[in-house]
Amino acid sequence: MSAAGPPQSARPLGGAARSAVRGDHISPRRTVAAPDPESRLSEAHHESLRLWLRLLTCTMLIEQRVRTGLRERFAISLPRFDLMAQLERNPQGLRMGELSRRLMVTGGNVTGITDQLVAERLVERRAIAGDRRAHAVRLTAKGKRTFDTMAAAHEQWVIEMLADVPVRERDRLHALLGRVKQSVQAHDPSPSFPETPA
């Protein structure tokens, strides 16, 4: 791609992806669908740009379904689910700074999400021995039960969305995307990710 980038009509909106939760099937919202990033392409665009916008479109479609399912079934946002997922993997708890680093958002954003979860008794802050100023955040027993239920639902939603892709093709795609990831990281070894509001 040239330094000037693609034509304005081909430039994507941008976006980031994450997360993975058994439960009810999520029905698509009955609204008029907005054009996805791929719709901006023409035959003149480079195949690398075409690949990127297809990946972006798939990411946006899956993430939107997950966001909708978490909101409608559990009344929780994806960023809050993501924070709980980090704590579930680290039952001993994590410092706020470490949570911020793992979620790739600012400390202020993590503090806001944590405050909401503390108010709902899903996580708790505990003082760290030997450091009066620091606290570790961890799931409460209620938070662990809640997260386990949401995680099972989240996983099933993703399984359902990819059910029409044969297993062998999924495995092949996974391997190919691993090569794509390596190529991208070779050119940008320290990527930054946009924040997602709580």
> Does the residue 141 lie in any domain?
yes
Q: How confident is the model at residue 145 (pLDDT cuts 50, 70, 90)?
A: very high
> Does the residue 99 lie in any domain?
yes
> Does the residue 24 lie in any domain?
no
Lowest mean pLDDT among 4-13, 48-57, 128-137, 153-162: 4-13
> Does the residue 39 lie in any domain?
no
Tell me the residue type at 117. Answer: L
> Does the residue 97 lie in any domain?
yes
Are the C-beta atoms of residues 126 and 75 closer than 8 Å to each other?
no
Total of domains in the chain: 1
Backbone region of residue 47 per phi and psi (left: phi > 0; alpha: psi in -120 to 50; beta: other values): alpha
194 compared with 178, residue with greater pLDDT: 178
The whole-number pLDDT of residue 48 equals 87
Q: Report the CATH number at residue 119.
A: 1.10.10.10
> Does the residue 195 lie in any domain?
no
> Does the residue 194 lie in any domain?
no
pLDDT tens digit string along 79-138? 999 999 999 999 999 999 999 999 888 888 899 999 999 999 999 999 887 777 788 999
Q: Domain range spanning residue 94?
A: 44-186
Q: What is the mean pLDDT of residues 149-175?
A: 97
The whole-number pLDDT of residue 122 equals 97
Q: What is the mean pLDDT of residues 140-157?
A: 97
pLDDT tens digit string along 112-126? 999 999 999 999 999
Q: If you count them, how many residues does the chain have? A: 198
Are the C-beta atoms of residues 53 and 41 closer than 8 Å to each other?
yes
Q: What is the mean pLDDT of residues 37-44?
A: 74
Q: Quick one: the chain helix, strand, coil %, rounded to 5?
A: 55, 10, 35
Query: Distance (Å, rounded) from C-alpha 80 to C-alpha 78?
Result: 5
Query: Distance (Å, rounded) from C-alpha 67 to C-alpha 70?
Result: 5
Helix (H) / strand (E) containing 112: helix 107-119
CA distances from residue 182 to 48, 71, 176, 186, 188 in whole angstroms, order as listed: 15, 33, 10, 6, 10
> Does the residue 139 lie in any domain?
yes
Which neighbouring-strand residues pair with 136? Answer: 95, 126
pLDDT tens digit string along 48-86? 888 888 999 999 999 999 999 999 999 999 999 999 999
Give every CB contact of residue 185 below 8 A, 6+ residues apart in sequence: 191
Among 143, 132, 153, 130, smallest CA distance to 93 is for 143
Q: What is the share, in percent, of the chain residues with pLDDT greater than 90?
A: 54
pLDDT tens digit string along 15-38? 433 443 333 444 445 554 567 777
Sequence-distant contacts of 113-122: CB under 8 A, at least 24 apart: 113/79, 113/80, 113/83, 113/198, 114/83, 116/80, 116/198, 117/80, 117/83, 117/84, 117/143, 122/84, 122/146, 122/147
